[in-house]
Protein backbone atom coordinates (compact mmCIF):
# COMPACT_ATOMS: atom_id res chain seq x y z
CA UNK A 1 0.00 0.00 0.00
CA UNK A 2 1.30 3.44 -0.91
CA UNK A 3 1.68 5.96 1.89
CA UNK A 4 0.84 9.61 1.37
CA UNK A 5 4.58 10.36 1.43
CA UNK A 6 5.33 7.83 -1.32
CA UNK A 7 2.41 9.14 -3.39
CA UNK A 8 3.76 12.69 -3.04
CA UNK A 9 7.28 11.50 -3.94
CA UNK A 10 6.00 9.69 -7.04
CA UNK A 11 4.12 12.84 -8.04
CA UNK A 12 7.21 15.02 -7.57
CA UNK A 13 9.31 12.62 -9.66
CA UNK A 14 6.85 12.83 -12.55
CA UNK A 15 5.89 16.49 -12.23
CA UNK A 16 8.03 17.43 -15.26
CA UNK A 17 6.15 14.89 -17.37
CA UNK A 18 2.84 16.31 -16.15
CA UNK A 19 4.09 19.76 -17.19
CA UNK A 20 4.83 18.34 -20.67
CA UNK A 21 1.29 17.00 -20.86
CA UNK A 22 -0.11 20.36 -19.76
CA UNK A 23 1.93 22.15 -22.46
CA UNK A 24 0.64 19.69 -25.08
CA UNK A 25 -2.95 20.81 -24.38
CA UNK A 26 -2.21 24.45 -23.58
CA UNK A 27 -4.88 26.78 -24.91
CA UNK A 28 -7.22 23.93 -25.86
CA UNK A 29 -10.61 24.48 -24.31
CA UNK A 30 -12.15 21.34 -22.83
CA UNK A 31 -8.82 19.52 -22.49
CA UNK A 32 -9.43 18.24 -18.95
CA UNK A 33 -10.38 14.69 -19.97
CA UNK A 34 -7.40 14.37 -22.33
CA UNK A 35 -5.04 15.69 -19.63
CA UNK A 36 -6.46 13.24 -17.09
CA UNK A 37 -6.09 10.33 -19.53
CA UNK A 38 -2.44 11.16 -20.19
CA UNK A 39 -1.63 11.69 -16.51
CA UNK A 40 -3.34 8.41 -15.62
CA UNK A 41 -1.11 6.70 -18.21
CA UNK A 42 1.90 8.01 -16.24
CA UNK A 43 0.85 6.59 -12.88
CA UNK A 44 -1.66 3.88 -13.87
CA UNK A 45 -4.16 5.81 -11.72
CA UNK A 46 -4.77 9.44 -10.71
CA UNK A 47 -3.03 10.30 -7.43
CA UNK A 48 -4.53 13.16 -5.45
CA UNK A 49 -1.51 15.50 -5.80
CA UNK A 50 -1.76 15.25 -9.58
CA UNK A 51 -5.46 16.20 -9.48
CA UNK A 52 -4.75 19.25 -7.34
CA UNK A 53 -1.93 20.25 -9.68
CA UNK A 54 -4.08 19.81 -12.80
CA UNK A 55 -6.86 21.91 -11.25
CA UNK A 56 -4.39 24.68 -10.43
CA UNK A 57 -2.77 24.62 -13.87
CA UNK A 58 -6.10 24.61 -15.73
CA UNK A 59 -7.62 27.20 -13.37
CA UNK A 60 -10.63 25.01 -12.60
CA UNK A 61 -12.03 24.11 -9.19
CA UNK A 62 -10.77 20.81 -7.78
CA UNK A 63 -14.43 19.81 -7.38
CA UNK A 64 -14.82 19.98 -11.17
CA UNK A 65 -11.79 17.75 -11.65
CA UNK A 66 -13.12 15.23 -9.13
CA UNK A 67 -16.52 15.44 -10.79
CA UNK A 68 -15.05 14.31 -14.11
CA UNK A 69 -12.84 11.63 -12.53
CA UNK A 70 -15.67 10.09 -10.55
CA UNK A 71 -18.18 10.30 -13.41
CA UNK A 72 -16.15 8.35 -15.98
CA UNK A 73 -15.34 4.73 -15.20
CA UNK A 74 -12.09 4.94 -17.17
CA UNK A 75 -10.50 6.97 -14.37
CA UNK A 76 -9.14 5.42 -11.20
CA UNK A 77 -8.29 7.08 -7.89
CA UNK A 78 -6.46 4.06 -6.46
CA UNK A 79 -3.34 2.30 -7.74
CA UNK A 80 -4.06 -0.44 -10.25
CA UNK A 81 -2.11 -3.50 -11.14
CA UNK A 82 -0.17 -4.02 -14.32
CA UNK A 83 -2.64 -6.81 -15.12
CA UNK A 84 -6.38 -6.19 -14.86
CA UNK A 85 -8.51 -9.27 -14.23
CA UNK A 86 -12.25 -9.01 -14.97
CA UNK A 87 -14.14 -11.99 -13.59
CA UNK A 88 -17.60 -12.36 -15.11
CA UNK A 89 -20.50 -12.70 -12.70
CA UNK A 90 -23.28 -12.70 -15.30
CA UNK A 91 -26.12 -15.21 -15.24
CA UNK A 92 -24.49 -17.87 -17.44
CA UNK A 93 -21.20 -17.61 -15.56
CA UNK A 94 -22.97 -17.66 -12.21
CA UNK A 95 -24.90 -20.81 -13.12
CA UNK A 96 -21.71 -22.51 -14.35
CA UNK A 97 -19.56 -21.72 -11.32
CA UNK A 98 -18.38 -18.15 -11.79
CA UNK A 99 -18.53 -17.56 -8.04
CA UNK A 100 -16.04 -20.42 -7.55
CA UNK A 101 -13.69 -18.88 -10.12
CA UNK A 102 -13.89 -15.54 -8.30
CA UNK A 103 -13.27 -17.24 -4.94
CA UNK A 104 -10.22 -19.03 -6.36
CA UNK A 105 -8.85 -15.79 -7.80
CA UNK A 106 -9.33 -14.04 -4.46
CA UNK A 107 -7.63 -16.92 -2.65
CA UNK A 108 -4.62 -17.11 -4.96
CA UNK A 109 -4.14 -13.36 -5.20
CA UNK A 110 -4.81 -12.75 -1.52
CA UNK A 111 -7.23 -9.89 -2.26
CA UNK A 112 -10.94 -9.34 -2.61
CA UNK A 113 -12.56 -8.13 -5.84
CA UNK A 114 -12.08 -4.40 -6.31
CA UNK A 115 -8.54 -4.45 -4.93
CA UNK A 116 -4.95 -4.59 -6.16
CA UNK A 117 -2.17 -6.87 -4.96
CA UNK A 118 0.52 -5.21 -2.84
CA UNK A 119 3.11 -5.79 -5.58
CA UNK A 120 0.86 -3.93 -8.06
CA UNK A 121 0.87 -7.00 -10.31
CA UNK A 122 -2.89 -7.66 -10.42
CA UNK A 123 -6.14 -5.78 -9.97
CA UNK A 124 -9.20 -8.00 -9.55
CA UNK A 125 -12.56 -6.70 -10.73
CA UNK A 126 -15.95 -8.24 -11.35
CA UNK A 127 -18.16 -7.44 -14.29
CA UNK A 128 -21.84 -8.09 -14.87
CA UNK A 129 -21.26 -9.73 -18.27
CA UNK A 130 -18.33 -10.10 -20.64
CA UNK A 131 -20.58 -11.21 -23.49
CA UNK A 132 -18.93 -14.62 -23.85
CA UNK A 133 -21.75 -16.65 -22.33
CA UNK A 134 -21.13 -19.65 -24.58
CA UNK A 135 -17.71 -20.06 -22.93
CA UNK A 136 -18.86 -19.56 -19.34
CA UNK A 137 -17.49 -19.24 -16.78
CA UNK A 138 -15.11 -16.64 -18.20
CA UNK A 139 -12.62 -14.02 -17.14
CA UNK A 140 -10.44 -11.55 -18.99
CA UNK A 141 -6.92 -10.49 -18.19
CA UNK A 142 -5.82 -7.36 -20.03
CA UNK A 143 -8.58 -8.00 -22.57
CA UNK A 144 -7.63 -11.63 -23.27
CA UNK A 145 -10.58 -13.94 -22.62
CA UNK A 146 -10.28 -17.27 -20.82
CA UNK A 147 -13.33 -19.50 -20.95
CA UNK A 148 -14.76 -22.78 -19.70
CA UNK A 149 -12.74 -22.20 -16.56
CA UNK A 150 -12.34 -24.45 -13.58
CA UNK A 151 -10.66 -23.54 -10.32
CA UNK A 152 -7.74 -25.73 -11.41
CA UNK A 153 -7.04 -23.41 -14.38
CA UNK A 154 -6.44 -20.29 -12.30
CA UNK A 155 -2.87 -20.83 -11.05
CA UNK A 156 -1.61 -21.79 -14.53
CA UNK A 157 -3.20 -18.70 -16.08
CA UNK A 158 -1.96 -16.34 -13.36
CA UNK A 159 1.56 -17.78 -13.61
CA UNK A 160 1.71 -16.76 -17.27
CA UNK A 161 1.44 -13.12 -16.15
CA UNK A 162 4.21 -13.21 -13.58
**Distance, CA of 34 to CA of 32 (rounded, Å):** 6
Residue 129 assigned to a binding site: yes
Residue 162, helix vs strand vs coil = coil
Residue 86 assigned to a binding site: no
Residue 87 assigned to a binding site: no
Average confidence (pLDDT) per 10 residues, the chain, 162 residues? 76 94 93 97 95 96 98 94 97 97 98 95 96 98 98 98 84
What is the predicted pLDDT for the residue at 1? 55
What is the predicted pLDDT for the residue at 90? 97
Domain ranges of the chain: 4-71, 83-160
* Entry pTM: 0.79
Residue 93 assigned to a binding site: yes
**Distance, CA of 89 to CA of 126 (rounded, Å):** 7
**Distance, CA of 131 to CA of 156 (rounded, Å):** 23
**Distance, CA of 124 to CA of 104 (rounded, Å):** 12
**Distance, CA of 115 to CA of 10 (rounded, Å):** 20
CATH superfamily of 83-160: Glutaredoxin (3.40.30.10)
What is the predicted pLDDT for the residue at 162? 74
Residue among 121, 112, 140, 117 at smallest CA distance from 82 = 121
**Distance, CA of 129 to CA of 140 (rounded, Å):** 11
Amino acid sequence: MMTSNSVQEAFEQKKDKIDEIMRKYEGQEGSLIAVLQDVQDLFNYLPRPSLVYIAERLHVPIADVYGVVTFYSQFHLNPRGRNIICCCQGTACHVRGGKHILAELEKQLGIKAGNTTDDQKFTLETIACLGACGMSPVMQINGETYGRLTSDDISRILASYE
